[in-house]
Structure 1
Amino acid sequence: MELQQLRYVLAVAETRSFTRAAERCFVVQSALSHQVKALERELGVDLFARTSRRVEVTAAGEAFLPAARAALDAVERAAAEAASAAGEVRGTLRIGLIPTVTALDVPALVGRLRDEHPAVRVTMRGGGSDELVAAIRSGELDLAVLGLSDTRSPVGVASRELAREPLVAVLPAGHRLARRRRLGLAELADETFADFGAGTPGRAQSDIAFAAAGVAREVAFESIGPELLLGLVAEGLAVTLLPAAVVPDDARTVVVPVVDGPVRVEHLAWSDFNPGPATLAFLDLLDA
């Protein structure tokens, strides 16, 4: 069993496509398919069920993937530690991001990291705060930017607070409250809301604030990202609460501060169990 075969298998499992896996691994598809098939023959099981249009991980594949990922991570970590001992930072830094990051200029930080440590490979993925914390704990991510209510802190990971900001009301430009200088939550009680999914940390910020104010509300539209929420507001279908920094200039919408509104706190979280050299190098950039 070769490390390259493990990389190919993980790429196929993550992309659900031999074509996209080959593109990710910078190899021709026939070579990748041949190596995956060779590994399946060695193991005596099919890791994937495939047709010309569809690829799915088999039960044997699901059982194989966690150990394969751990083995590959261990090898990459060993190489990174050895390089670090020789004064070079290398390895892969896996970053998770909520859809509404405002406290960090992540592209600029990644650019600085690559300038100072060109041997570091950076990958990113989006997700909700709970999902990202779970991924850090399981070793799938090295660090993540989270957004939580001001009543909650990350659990089971190391973290630092980046910023806290009140959410603002985003209203259609022609809304009856659009000319107000500030609002209270009670004044929004009868409005139709667009918000993040029920039970998510992004939604909890507003749910907690409305509950504390003793105000009920109707959430008719849910989304995993702010773009759809803002689009619904622009069409006059709903109002929403978001950090002001993620609301673009748009003549169809108006931003109004909310005096008793939710407060969102952004955190940077990382594994508190032996963080790797690339993670430590990223953290050093924040203190530079």
Structure 2
Amino acid sequence: MELQQMRYVVAVAETGGFTRAAERCRVVQSALSHQIARLEKDLGARLFERTSRSVRLTAAGEAFLPVARQALQTVERARAEVAAATGEVRGRLVVGAISTVSAVDLARVLGEFRSRYPRVQIRLQMEMTETLVDKVRDAVLDVAFIGMVPGARNPGVAERELARNELVAVVPPGHPLAEREWTTLARVARETFVDFTAGSAARRQREDAFRAAGLDSEVAYEVTTVEFLAKLVRAGLGIGMVPAPMAAGLPGLHAVRVRPAPERTERVVWSARGPSPAALAFLSTLGVDPE
């Protein structure tokens, strides 16, 4: 079994096809397919079910994938640790973030980090909080910026709170609330909502406050990004609730404070097993001490 074979398996699993995996790995498809076939022969089991339309992991593939990822990450970590011991930060840094992150200027921070540590390969993924936490726990991500209800905990990851802020209502021009500075939660509860997907941390930040006040709400439109939430609100399809710092960056919408206000915390999370040298350097850039 070779590390390159593991890389090919991970690439196929993540891209969903042999052609895209070969493009990512910068090899011809026939070479990638041949190496995976060799690996399957050595293991005595097929890792992928191949059809004319799709490629998916078999039960054996599902079992093999996390182990392959861990092996590759261990090798990368070993190289990075050796480099760090000689005074050089290098390797991989995969950062995840929610679309409503406001506690840090992520673009600026990543730019500064790249300038300071040019040997580190940086990747960024935007996801919902639950997915980000799972990916940090599974070592797919090194660091992630998430939003949570105050008091919520995330087993299996280390975390630091970066900011705590209130949610405000965002409404389009001409809405009855558009000229008001603040309103009550009971008044807002009479509106139709554009909100994040059911069960998400972003949705719970609002719903927990409504539930505590004995209020219900109607969600007609579910989204995964604040940008699309804003588009639907501008179209007059409903109102939304977003963190106060984020509302200022949504042109064409009016922000209205709500009392009692739903709250959320923004946090940075990393593996409970300890950050890699690149992740440690990134946390230091944020002023976060993982000890």
TM norm. shorter chain > 0.5: yes
**Contact 1:171 1:254 (8 Å CA) reproduced:** yes
Per the alignment, residue 165 of structure 1 pairs with 165
Q: Distance in 2 between matches of 1:139 and 1:108?
A: 24
What corresponds to 2:65 in structure 1?
65
| Moved beyond 3 Å, runs of 4+ | 153-156, 244-251
Deviations 1:236-264 (A, max 9, x none): 1111101244344433x322222322122
CA–CA distance in 2 between the matches of 1:54 and 1:154? 34
Whole-angstrom distance in 2 between the partners of 1:35 and 1:73: 20
Q: Distance in 1 between matches of 2:116 and 2:131?
A: 30
- The Cα shift of 1:153 comes to 4.5
Once the two structures are overlaid, the 10-residue window that deviates more, 119-128 or 81-90, is 119-128
- The one-letter code matched in structure 1 to 2:238 is A
Question: Which amino acid letter does the alignment assign opposite residue 250 of structure 1?
Answer: P
Deviations, residues 155-205 of structure 1 (Å, cap 9, x unaligned) = 442222211221111112121121112111111121111111222211111
Q: Which residue is 1:227 aligned to?
A: 227
Q: Distance in 2 between matches of 1:154 and 1:49?
A: 34
Deviation at 1:27, TM superposition (A): 2.6
Aligned residue number for residue 95 of structure 1 = 95
* Counterpart-to-counterpart distance in 2, 1:204 and 1:28: 46
Q: Which residue of 2 aligns with 1:56?
A: 56
Paired residue type of 2:135 = A
Rounded to whole Å, the distance in 1 between the matches of 2:286 and 2:150 is 22
**Deviation sequence 1:18-57 (CA, Å, 0-9, x none):** 2221222223333322322222233232211223432111
Write the deviation string for residues 72-123 of structure 1: whole angstroms up to 9, x where unpaired.
1111111111111111112212222112111122232222222222221222
Corresponding letter in the other structure for 1:189: A
Match of 1:108 in 2: 108
**1:277 counterpart residue number:** 277
TM-score, length-normalised on structure 1?
0.92
Q: How does 1:127-146 map to 2 (within 5 A)?
A: 127-146=127-146
Q: 1:184 maps to what in 2?
A: 184
Q: How has the CA–CA distance of structure 1 residues 106 and 236 changed in structure 2, closer, same or farther, with 3 Å as cutoff? A: same
Change (3 A) 1:31 1:105: farther
Which stretch of structure 1 is more off in the superposition, 108-117 or 277-286? 108-117
**Cα distance in 2 for residues equivalent to 1:272 and 1:65:** 21
> 1:287 matched to which residue of 2?
287
CA RMSD of aligned residues (A): 2.0
Tell me the distance in 1 between the aligned counterparts of 2:48 and 2:265.
42
**In the aligned structure 2, how far is the partner of 1:166 from the partner of 1:282?**
27
Aligned sequence identity (%): 51
Could you tell me which residue of structure 1 aligns to residue 42 of structure 2?
Answer: 42
1:72-83 pair list within 5 angstroms? 72-83=72-83
Residue range with higher mean Cα deviation, 66-75 or 131-140: 131-140
Equivalent-residue separation in structure 2 for 1:267 and 1:41 (angstroms): 45
Rounded to whole Å, the distance in 2 between the matches of 1:250 and 1:106 is: 20
1:30 aligns with 30
Q: Which amino acid aligns with 1:214?
A: G
Q: Which runs of 5+ in 2 are unaligned?
A: none
Residue type of the partner of 1:203? R
Q: Answer with 145-154 or 274-283: which moved more.
A: 145-154
Does the CA-based 8 Å contact 1:154-1:269 persist in structure 2? no
Moved more, 179-188 or 130-139: 130-139
Comparing 145-154 with 167-176, greater Cα deviation is found at 145-154
1:133 counterpart letter in structure 2: V
Report how many residues are paired: 287
Residue 14 of structure 1: aligned partner: 14
Change (3 A) 1:246 1:33: farther
Whichever residue aligns with residue 176 of structure 1, its letter is P
Taking a change above 3 Å as real, the CA distance of residues 129 and 249 of structure 1, as seen in their structure-2 partners, is closer
